[in-house]
Each structure stands twice: as C-alpha cells, then as structure tokens.
Amino acid sequence: MAQAGPLLSQINFPSDLRKLPKDQLPQLCKELREFIIHQVAETGGHFGASLGVVELTVALHYVFNTPHDLIVWDVGHQAYGHKILTGRREQFKTLRQLGGVSGFPKRDESEYDTFGVGHSSTSISAALGMAVASKLRGIDRHVVAVIGDGALTAGLAYEGLNNAGAMPDVNLLIILNDNSMSIDPNVGAITKYLTDLTTWSLYNKFRNELWNALGKVKEKFGIPAQEIASAIEHKVKNTILKGGNLFEALGIRYFGPEDGHDVLRLVEILEDLKQIKRPRLLHIKTLKGKGYKPAEEDQAKWHSTGKFIVETGEPLEKSTKPSPPKYQDVFGHTMTELMKQDERIVAITPAMLSGSSLTITMQEFPERVFDVGIAEQHAVTFAAGLATQGMKPVVAIYSTFLQRAYDQAIHDVAIQKLHVVFAIDRAGLVGADGPTHHGSFDISYLRPIPNFILSAPLNESELRNLLYTAVQDDINQPFAIRYPRGKGVLIDWRTPMKRIPIGKGELLKEGEDVAILAYGHPGNFALQAAETLAHFNIHPAIYNMRFAKPLDEELLHQIFNKFNKIITVEDGSIIGGFGSAILEFTNEHGYNAEVVRLGIPDKFITHGSPAELHKLCGYDAEAIIKTTKQLLEGGTGKTISLSAAK
C-alpha cells in the first residue's frame, strides 16, 4: 500500500491544508505526486492527467474555502489529487473497485465533488449555473471550473463561454489547463490558437505586473487606476495580440499563460483573481504525466494504465500465453484491410484514436482517418456529409459518447437514409470507469429510429464479417455494430471475411425445453451456461440473433412454435432493448410464451470489474444457469441482488 509522506499524512481535508505555511506547499506537492504514482501502480487507473495538475490542485484548495467555494473538474481524469486532499486518502486504495472510490468526481461520494462528471466539456456550463444560483440566492462564494484544452474542442464548452461572457456580474473563474493533450494529442484550430497565444508571454507578464502596480496606486492615493486601465485594455490587446484574444472577445477577462507547476506563483495569482468577481479565465501550461518520466515521454499510453512497476514502468502482470485480442484491435486491423479494398471507406473518431485502435489504420491511411476532437455531434454530421458524396464513412465512437450525438444520428443520418456505419465501441458494462462510461443504452435509443440496422457480433470473427457487410455498395442506410470493451474469445480470429445476410440469426446449439436468445458477446455466457446445465440434464437451445433490428422473424417463428419458455440475454438496458423487441414480437404475433429478459436493470450501475458487474446485474453464465433452472421449475423467482448498483 502506498504511504503518505509526513506532510500529506497530516492533510485529511482542505482545512488542514490551509493551515500550512506557503513555503511547505512545494514539498506537499512532491508528496502528493509520489502518493498518486505509487497508489495507481497498485490499482491501475487514469494517471497522467492527475499528475499534471498536482500544483493546481493544492493551490486551489489552499486559496479557496472549499467546500463553501465550489470547484468543478471537467471530465474528472485529473481529480485524483483532489480526492486525496478531500477526505479520501485512506480509501484511495479502493480506487475504481466495486464498492470503492470512483475514478471520477461523484456528488454522492463527497461534498467536495460539486458536479458528477465523466464526459468532457461540461464544467463551464455547470459552474456558470452554480455561480448564477449563488448570486440569485445571495450567497457570497467563488466558483471555479477547471477545463483542459482538449475539452475546448467540444461545442458545449463554447456555449458555456459564450453565455458566461454575457454575464459580467457573475463570479466565475475558469482555469484552462493547457497540456496539448486529452487522451491522444489534441487536434484542430483551437490547439494552434492556444499555442500561438502562449508565445505572447511577454505581454501577459507585463500586464499582470502593471495590474498589481495599479492596485497599489488605488490603495495609496484612492485613484481607481485599475478601472481606468481596463477601459483601454481591449484596444491595447487588439493591437498587441494581432486582432484580439478569443476569450476577451467573448467578454471573459484573460490572464496568462502561467506555469502550472509553480505552486507558489499559482497561489499568488489565485489570490489576486479572487478580487475580480466577474467571468475570467486563467490559462496555465502544464505537462501531462509530470513527475513520472515514462508518463512524460508517452503521454497517450499513460493516460490510463493497469498495475505497473514504479521503478521501470513495466506492467505488473505479463502473460506469455496466447490470448484473444481486444475487440477494438480487431476493428482497427479489419478497417485497414477494408480500406485497402475500397478507397471510398474513411474512418472518423471523436478524440478516441487510440481507444478505438484507429491508430493501426492511420499508419497506412493517414489521409483517410479523421480525428475530429471531442466533438461527437460534428463527427456524425461530418460523416453524413461524406456519405452524400459517395464516401463510406465509419464512425468509431464509444456507446456512452454516441449519446451526445443522438440528434445528429436521427436528423442528419437516419432521416436522409445515409450510408453511415457506426462502430459502437465499449457497448455494455465497461468496468472500472463506472456509470458515466457504461454503454447501457445504445440498443434502446437506436432501436426506435427508422432506417437503422442494429447488429452485435458474437465474437471477433463475426465483428469482421459485420464490418465487411456494413460497407457493401448495396447498403443504403445507417448500419450500427456494437461490441464490448476488452478481449473476445477467439485466438485465431483473423478469418476470411464473408457477408452476413441482414437480419439473420443462427442456431448455435440444439436443445429442448428452453430457448436462450443472445444478442452479441453475451452469447458466449449462454454457451458457458449450457455446458454446466448439461450436467443437470438440461439442454437449452442457444441462438445467436446478431440483429436487434431488423429481427430475424423467420427464425423467431420457428423458435416460438417449438418453445414456450424463452430467455433473452443482452449487454444493454432491458428497458427498450433486445429483450423488449422479442416481447413486442411475441405480443404482435399472439404467442403465449413465457419470456424472461436478462440484461442491465433500470439502475445506473456502479464501477467494478466487468465480471463483477455482469454478475451484479444478473446476466453472466451463473445467472443464466439459475434463471434456466427456475424457469423450468415453473417460475423465475429471481432474487438477483442490486444493492451496489447505484
């Protein structure tokens, strides 16, 4: 277990931190950074982002009276230091484990976690709402939003900035943590703009020193020198900054750039900024992974990590046995093969280049792989535009992030019946990232949309076949393929690709008495369950349905004419999901069958390992065995515990 240093061990809450003399803050930062390194080495987790904001975290809690003053962390990858300083140091060893500390700020975990986050670019809007509420209620408090430069690639951040700039009497401080990284290197014009802006440090240094001097003039002579200077500042900036500053143009006072690793300077600046109670932005430059050399040198790799050896950076557990690949890697390799065959195929990802394994594809086709930044809405409509001109866009997007582009999926793709392929990664329960990242709802939210084809592969080979099918010339509608995070089941997965008939499932295993209809990867759980059930002389028929829309109605008629006891299994919400589609079919065709649905219940599921969460939600192999026995005994009588599913 990681040990806290002599200063850090004294800090249970920020009130303890504020008792330290300023000259001890650099040592505290060193101890906090070491604690994060050694603790994440034992548990795994997001890594580089929190190391990059150690000094900022200490400075914020030192200067502001938290929890009365409010800090909103964007995304939350960078909030480990915040958690350690706010009463969770001893519990930090349970990070991202079932029943343990969440990897993201979570309102019901601590009063210091002012806003639940996980998706990027929400901090400015949320913090602005808090600041306005405080003003309306007559509460004198500071509200701080900490946003990374990567999050500025999302439109929501600009909507918040635009609105904040129109409220000059709201006490809001925005801190822009500029490290030129999100998960992968940042892309787009805003990144170039920030880089250009930081070259004007001479201007900013002069401005800050002059501002402080003018404040002393007011104190000594009563002359409002700062107010007078502000009146002419806009014109000065237009001249010096080659046409103006983006943030100033939006009505937000800009300060910086400053060194984000100088904790004493940050304390000084934040103390000064407390005196200016209007929307303002402090731009700091930091290094993602600061203080751990491997993370500094390969920031994308060390964005998130498993357990590792601190001294070498090597993974703690290395397996020499052959194992199935990750679904995302199968996707990346298969896309490369398909793009060799058809020059009209292009790939798009919203800032998940490595997460979706399109880095593999980009090595061969850099001009046909587009990382559009954290801009899911744009990614989908960009794909729609490509499709109108005869291209075949494949949008690689996590299930939880596709939620942010729901209107575009309907309005820009489905209504126009455009041939856009959605490769929906991280579908189902993703594990340690918890409820903000689980891909629980894509089946339910896509199934009602006309013109969509919805599919899910049983294994890696079927993922290849579905991708191959989805990009064929005669497909003239949106085609979604969902697949889970992590490894599949096949060692020899690189099979020749073949076309799958749209809306056709298959019988995997002959059986009697009960039929198990599986959608996607959970079909493997059903096959595992069947092996055990055979020992009890129970032989279920196992079907790989492949498509949630259109359903294989021909196969379903065969099933319902043979079986009156049906179990559906899916890695998605049972409300509106694949099982609901089967119930609708049953009702529409007048079948009198008993249908039991297994999947994600009507709850937000906590963090934990995927296996733990599958068990918790009652659709792993063990749950399928239990449900089958109960169904054949005359009733389900399900008593699956969901006490931790919150």
- Give the pLDDT score at 645: 41
Predicted confidence band at 613 (pLDDT cuts at 50, 70, 90)?
very high
Predicted confidence band at 219 (pLDDT cuts at 50, 70, 90)?
low
Q: Summarize the confidence of residues 626-641 as an average pLDDT.
A: 70
Distance CA 281, CA 300 (A): 27
Q: What is the pLDDT of residues 293-324, one digit of tens each?
A: 888 888 778 887 888 888 888 888 776 778 89
Looking at 288, 326, 464, 485, which residue is catalytic?
Answer: 288
Distance CA 640, CA 618 (A): 6
How would you classify residue 533: left for phi > 0, otherwise alpha for psi between -120 and 50, otherwise beta? alpha
Has residue 232 got a pLDDT over 90?
no
Question: What percent of the chain has pLDDT above 70?
Answer: 88
Q: In degrees rounded to 5, what are phi and psi of residue 397?
A: -150, 140
- Of residues 645 and 407, the one with the higher pLDDT is 407
The tokens describing 528, both together, are: 């595992």
Contact call for residues 470 and 335 (beta carbons, < 8 A): no
- Give the pLDDT score at 644: 37
Q: Summarize the confidence of residues 476-488 as an average pLDDT.
A: 96
User: What is the DSSP code (8-state) at residue 118?
Assistant: -
Has residue 581 got a pLDDT over 70?
yes
Looking at 376, 460, 462, 570, which residue is catalytic?
Answer: 376
Looking at 280, 404, 426, 615, which residue is catalytic?
Answer: 404
Question: Range with the lowest mean pLDDT among 140-149, 247-256, 258-267?
Answer: 247-256
3-class DSSP state of 232: helix
- Give the pLDDT score at 640: 36
Q: In degrees rounded to 5, what are phi and psi of residue 551?
A: -75, 155
| pTM of model > 0.75 | yes
The CATH number for 65-200+241-287, chosen from 3.40.50.970, 3.30.465.10, 3.90.580.10, 3.40.47.10, is 3.40.50.970
Predicted confidence band at 213 (pLDDT cuts at 50, 70, 90)?
low
Domain with CATH 3.40.50.920 in the chain: 506-632
288 catalytic? Reply is: yes
The tokens describing 162, both together, are: 């635009």
- Give the pLDDT score at 48: 82
Distance CA 144, CA 166 (A): 17
Predicted confidence band at 204 (pLDDT cuts at 50, 70, 90)?
low
Has residue 170 got a pLDDT over 90?
yes
- Of residues 192 and 214, the one with the higher pLDDT is 214
Q: Summarize the confidence of residues 150-175 as an average pLDDT.
A: 92
CATH number of 327-482: 3.40.50.970
Question: Range with the lowest mean pLDDT among 11-20, 292-301, 450-459, 602-611?
Answer: 292-301
404 catalytic? Reply is: yes
DSSP 503-556: T--EEEE--SS-EEEE-STTHHHHHHHHHHHGGGT---EEEE--EEES--HHHH
Has residue 378 got a pLDDT over 80?
yes
Distance CA 304, CA 51 (A): 12
- Give the pLDDT score at 191: 54
Domain with CATH 3.40.50.970 in the chain: 65-200+241-287, 327-482
Helix axes 460-470, 327-341, angle to 10 degrees: 40
Has residue 462 got a pLDDT over 90?
yes
- Give the pLDDT score at 289: 87
- Give the pLDDT score at 187: 52
Q: In degrees rounded to 5, what are phi and psi of residue 582?
A: -65, -40
Predicted confidence band at 185 (pLDDT cuts at 50, 70, 90)?
low
Q: What is the pLDDT of residues 61-116, one digit of tens each?
A: 999 999 999 999 998 788 999 999 999 999 989 999 998 999 889 999 999 999 99
Q: Are strands 506-509 and 541-544 parallel, antiparallel or unpaired?
A: antiparallel
- Give the pLDDT score at 298: 83
- Give the pLDDT score at 194: 54
285 DSSP β-pair partners:
178, 259
Has residue 537 got a pLDDT over 90?
yes
Distance CA 575, CA 597 (A): 10
Has residue 212 got a pLDDT over 80?
no
Question: Range with the lowest mean pLDDT among 185-194, 282-291, 352-361, 545-554?
Answer: 185-194
Give residues with Cβ within 8 angstroms of 303, minimum separation 6: 46, 47, 48, 49, 77, 181, 183, 288
Query: Of 603, 436, 485, 439, nearest to 76 (Cα)?
Result: 436
Has residue 285 got a pLDDT over 90?
yes
- Give the pLDDT score at 218: 63
Distance CA 79, CA 85 (A): 10
Predicted confidence band at 641 (pLDDT cuts at 50, 70, 90)?
very low
Distance CA 269, CA 262 (A): 11
Distance CA 468, CA 418 (A): 17
- Give the pLDDT score at 228: 64
Has residue 408 got a pLDDT over 80?
yes
- Of residues 294 and 449, the one with the higher pLDDT is 449
Question: Range with the lowest mean pLDDT among 88-102, 205-219, 233-247?
Answer: 233-247
In CATH terms, the fold of domain 506-632 is: Rossmann fold (3.40.50)
Has residue 239 got a pLDDT over 80?
no
Q: Summarize the confidence of residues 13-42 as an average pLDDT.
A: 95
